[in-house]
Structure formats: structure tokens, C-alpha cells
Amino acid sequence: MVQTRGYARLGPDISLYTPEQPKIGQLVIICPSIGIAKTRYVCDYESLYRNSAPRAKILILSPTKSGMLSSYQKQEDAMKPAADAICDILNECDRLQSAVGGSKNSHTRPRILLHAIGNGGFNSATNLLVALERRTKRNLPLVGLICDSAPGGASYTKACRALTYSFITDLTTDFPTGILRWVLVHAVLSIVYLFIAFTRYEAPGAYWRKSILDKKLIDCNKVYYFASIDDKVTDWRDVLSHAKQARQQGWEVKELLYDYTPHCGHIRREKQRINYEDAIYYLWEGKKI
């Protein structure tokens, strides 16, 4: 990913963009999947938010292959720099609220939007939310949540499909390293799912699907889903079933289903980019579309 002026590297895979005139409390959190984390796709998302929310800071959490296979505790610990940045923003809003006599209004409330892309992005978002709740003892206030090409299902087969997606290039151009990584994914997942079978722990996919809607972790009631029938990694029916679950839990839900765009690739088409702009208008500005 090519980073432009205004970015600060907070950690190995965490970057924070600060505009020239940031507005207190405004933040967009982008959690890309492994497959697009180092590509121009992320630049498209950044450009989208720099245009739609020009005074907001942008926090980018890029997952790694090794990180996805590490323990939950290690993944949550890796979120400390991101949690620090978010706590700084929340504290700014608290100080502003105190300065105006403790009144809560649109000028003192944080305006934060979370955009999770693919299962890797969902994993990062979940770890961040858990790390923040443990630190602050409160849920994260959001104006909205975007679930993009995710969440997928929780079965072993679907977990393998999601994790091996990023290894496709390796298998064809980096022999035999790609094969070894593919074997490693299956070996680790086999151990994980065997452990799950004999304990009370949930499969990663089930954990992500539940956590992202957990009011203990997140203070939000608006969510927008993007999915595609042509997605070879995330089954669109899993995305829409999660949308149904959110609606049953009282969320205000909107979903958009394409029929020909690839996994995490909806934004690359001009017509679909307009759909993203509409979603941000709906969530960020709180406007009807």
C-alpha cells in the first residue's frame, strides 16, 4: 500500500492518516482483508473517505498471514497502538464536553465509522473492539458499521477457503513456499477445530459474527452490507444471514447484493463506488438514501 502525506505508522501493520485540519472526534477505521491489505484497493477506500469525510482521521489495520494464525491474545495485544489512537480521540471529546459544561451535543460526541472488509478485516475489527472494551470498560460509539464481503460462515471448509485465498499467487509463482504455507493453514485450522470440538470455544467465524453485533463491544444501530453472488471466497448467503441476524437484534440494516463483482473488489467499479458514497452519506451524515 502506497502511503501519502499525512500518515503516521503506529505499529508494524497500523497506520493513522491525519488531515491538515482534523475535526475533533472524527475517525474512520478501515480493516482490510489479507488479500487487499497491500494493494491499490486500500488506496481506493482511503480516497473514498478522504473525499467523503475530509476532516476525519483514518486508522488502517492491515492483517498479516502470520497474525491471523496466532492466538487471540497475541492478536488483541497487537491492537494496542490502534487502541491508543482511538482512546486519544475519545479523550479529546471528553475534554471538549467538559469545556462546554458537560453538555452532550453533536460537537462533543465522537463520530467514528468502522469499515470491515473480508474475514481478515472482521478479525482485526473484533480484536480491536475486544481490546478497547477491556481497556476502557465501555463499548465503542459508532455512527455506523460497514460489512464488506463479510462475514463468511464458520465451518472448517469456509475458514480454509478464506485463509487460503491470499495464498493463490504463492501457489503459482512461489513454489514450493506456497505449498508449504497452504499445508500450514490446514494444519493450524485442523488443530483449532479439533480443540473447538472438545471445548466450549467457538470457531473463529462464529466468534467474529457474534462479536461485531455485541452491544457490550459496540454502541451502534446502523449497519450496511456489501456482498456479491460471484464472490468465490465469502458466500453471499452467509453475509445476508448476518444481516438478518442484525435486523432481528434491532439494528437498522441495509444490504446491497451484486451479481458479478469479485471478493473485496466491489469498489473498483465506478457504479459501485457511487453505492459506497451513498452508504457513507447514510451512516456518516445520518441522511436517508
pLDDT digit string (tens) for 102-157? 666 666 789 999 999 988 899 899 999 999 999 999 999 999 999 999 998 766 56
Indicate the residue among 181, 201, 221 that finishes a domain.
201
Residue 112: strand pairing partners: 27
DSSP 8-state code for residue 201: P
- Give the domain extent around 66: 7-153+208-284
What is the C-alpha separation between 121 and 127, in angstroms, rounded?
A: 10
168 domain-assigned:
yes
Band (222; pLDDT cuts 50, 70, 90): very high
Tally of domains in the chain: 2
Q: Per DSSP, which regions of the chain are E strands?
A: 7-11, 14-17, 26-31, 57-61, 111-117, 140-141, 144-148, 218-219, 222-228, 252-258
| Global pTM value | 0.85
What does the longest C-alpha to C-alpha distance in the chain come to?
64
Shared domain check, 143 and 244: yes
Shared domain check, 105 and 91: yes
Band (1; pLDDT cuts 50, 70, 90): very low
Question: Cα separations (Å) of 185 from 13, 69, 120, 159, 239?
Answer: 21, 8, 14, 10, 23
For position 212, which CATH number holds?
Answer: 3.40.50.1820
Concatenate the DSSP letters of all residues of 134-155 into one string.
Answer: HHHSSPEE-SEEEEES-----S
pLDDT digit string (tens) for 57-116? 999 998 766 666 677 788 889 999 999 999 999 999 988 888 776 666 666 789 999 999
2 domain-assigned:
no
